[in-house]
Amino acid sequence: MSGDEVRGLAALLEDEYAHAILIRTSTREMSAPELSDACDASVSTIYRRIERLQEYDLLSERLQLDKDGHHYKTYRARLDRIEIELNDGEFSVDVTYRAEDPADRFTGLFEGLR
């Protein structure tokens, strides 16, 4: 990760909404409107943070179908651990991701075939 990427990641994790999204989605999948209510933020703010979290691969999304045939996305934190080290004047960042559930992986593959 470059210095700019390290600073961007640090700033993102410091952001109150991105922080709240990661915390809330670490225990269960949530939709943007659910996150909006839980984080006391507008839906547009939540979507902007979701986009930034996905840029760093910290949040996964899954398409859900409701009983009326409509679809919506839910989000789940992928982040397990971040380690930042400073050695010889350079930062190194090691991001550890949560293991993906095999059923979720299969669903993702199936949705990709449509």
> Domain tally for the chain?
1
**How confident is the model over 29-55, as pLDDT tens digits?**
999 999 999 999 999 999 999 999 999
Label residue 112 exposed, middle or buried (CB < 10 Å: 0-12, 13-18, 19+): exposed
Where are any strands of DSSP class E within the chain? 30-31, 59-65, 71-77, 79-87, 90-97
Specify the CATH number for the domain of residue 41.
1.10.10.10
pTM of the model: 0.79
Q: How far apart are CA 104 and CA 86, in angstroms?
A: 36
Question: Is 50 within 8 Å of 25 (Cβ atoms)?
Answer: no
> Mean pLDDT over all residues of the chain?
86
Which domain, by its residues, includes 32? 3-113
- Tens of pLDDT along 57-97? 999 999 988 888 888 899 999 988 889 888 898 888 888 88
Which letter, b or e, does each residue of 15-41 get, where b requires 16 or more Cβ atoms within 10 Å of its Cβ? eebbebbbebbeeebbbbebbbeebeb
